[in-house]
Amino acid sequence: MIVAVYDTKPYDRRHLATSEHADIDWRFHEFRLSADTVSTAEGCAAVCAFVNDEIDAPCLERLSDLGVKLVAMRSAGFNNVDLDAAKSQGITVCRVPAYSPNAVAEHAIGLLLTLNRKIHRAYNRVREQNFSLNGLVGFDLAGRTVGVVGTGKIGRIAAQICRGFGMNVLAYDPHEDAVWAKERGVEYVRLPELLGKSDIITLHVPLLLETYHLVKAKTIAQMKRGVTIVNTSRGKLIDTGALIEGLKSGQIGGVALDVYEEEEGVFFEDHSGEVLQDDELARLLSFPNVLITSHQAFLTEEALNEIARVTSENIRRFAKGEALLEGTKVG
């Protein structure tokens, strides 16, 4: 079975090519899947895509014309797939719902520790033989209040790590798990209370109509002055313009991002040597209290192995007309 794989990097190719299903003929592409590139799926029964591929209605219509019946997302999120269009074209969409929630939660907390204790700045200083500590003052996490927005697989682990640091954990999720919260010493509150009481707010919700620009001027104004915001979920959860205003006014004390509103075409690629065209990203990079990584929270050996295992098993099952792995089909 031939499968076109888009937006691939060496680490994707290494893990997929060595997955146990030798019967899959992977056609790896470095470019992204979109209506402009979809013709490269000709002759393939399935395509495998990632978070920045544009699997919109025109792309899906063309995939259907080419006889592609399966879009296998090698990500948990699938907001870049037009599910209604996929359904009307008779294309099945699957994903990898939980390749390593630990990887993402650990990265979120890693970002928080780095930003708060300014480890990234200290690292650079020491390499220049600048052993001064001026400007490197952080705060103890123990005793602080963290607000976890979204207590699904990743949010729960983030909350548990924070409890391990001796933090008070508030959480907001429309689907509360009272048993888990009691066991872990987490308190569910409504969103405005979480915003008003948290020293740190970490986002672990999917991008949905209701969560688009969850962090915007109005919600930033409800937060504690000097709040630290961590986002490892999706860039469009935050209104970047409002975030910049919040940083400039001091209402926001620090921001750690693994995702960015306009990351498509920028993140995952080497643009050093080019002039950065995105003025808001350039402004964000100019703040000393902003730390950005390039959508790498998932990037552990364990997660890549699991993505390859689930993706190739689903493709094999689909080809044989068997049911997909439980919980992986979307739409």
Task: Give catalytic residues, as residue numbers.
Answer: 234, 263, 295
What is the smallest separation between the CB atom of 262 and ligand NAD, expressed in angstroms? 16
Selected from 55, 59, 96, 154, the binder of ligand NAD by CB under 6 A is 154
- Choose between 1 and 266: whose C-beta lies nearer to ligand NAD: 266
How far CA 139 is from CA of 113, 144, 250, 254, 264, in Å, comes to 10, 9, 16, 12, 34
Phi, psi for 229 (deg, rounded to 5): -115, 130
Selected from 47, 141, 149, 220, the binder of ligand NAD by CB under 6 A is 149
CA distance 75 to 51: 7
Give me 267's structure tokens.
């993140």
Binding window for ligand NAD (CB under 6 A); candidates: 27-35, 42-50, 111-119, 207-215 = 207-215
Handedness of CA 157, 329, 177, 149 (dihedral sign): positive
| Residue given tokens 């552990």 in the structure block | 300
- Choose between 45 and 256: whose C-beta lies nearer to ligand NAD: 256
Phi, psi for 93 (deg, rounded to 5): -120, 130
Our measurement of the distance from residue 91's CA atom to the centroid of its chain's CA atoms, rounded to an integer in Å, reads: 25
Site residues (CB under 6 A) for ligand NAD, limited to 251-280: 258-259
Question: SS3 of 129, please?
Answer: coil
Contact flag: residue 153 with ligand NAD (CB under 6 A): yes
| Residue 13, H or E segment | helix 10-17
Find out whether 262 and 240 touch, Cβ atoms under 8 Å.
Answer: yes
Contact flag: residue 234 with ligand NAD (CB under 6 A): yes
Contact flag: residue 331 with ligand NAD (CB under 6 A): no
148 burial (CB, 10 Å; 0-12 / 13-18 / 19+) is buried
Using CB under 6 A as the binding criterion, the count of chain residues that bind ligand NAD stands at 31
Question: SS3 of 119, please?
Answer: helix
Q: Contact letters (x/-) for ligand NAD, 116-145, by CB under 6 A?
A: ------------------------------
Selected from 155, 235, 246, 254, the binder of ligand NAD by CB under 6 A is 155
Say which DSSP state 19 is in. S
- Choose between 173 and 239: whose C-beta lies nearer to ligand NAD: 173
Question: SS3 of 34, please?
Answer: coil
What is the smallest separation between the CB atom of 207 and ligand NAD, expressed in angstroms? 6
Contact flag: residue 172 with ligand NAD (CB under 6 A): yes
Selected from 104, 148, 167, 169, the binder of ligand NAD by CB under 6 A is 104
Binding site for ligand NAD (CB under 6 A): 76-77, 98, 101, 104, 149-155, 172-175, 204-208, 210-211, 232-234, 258-259, 295, 297-298
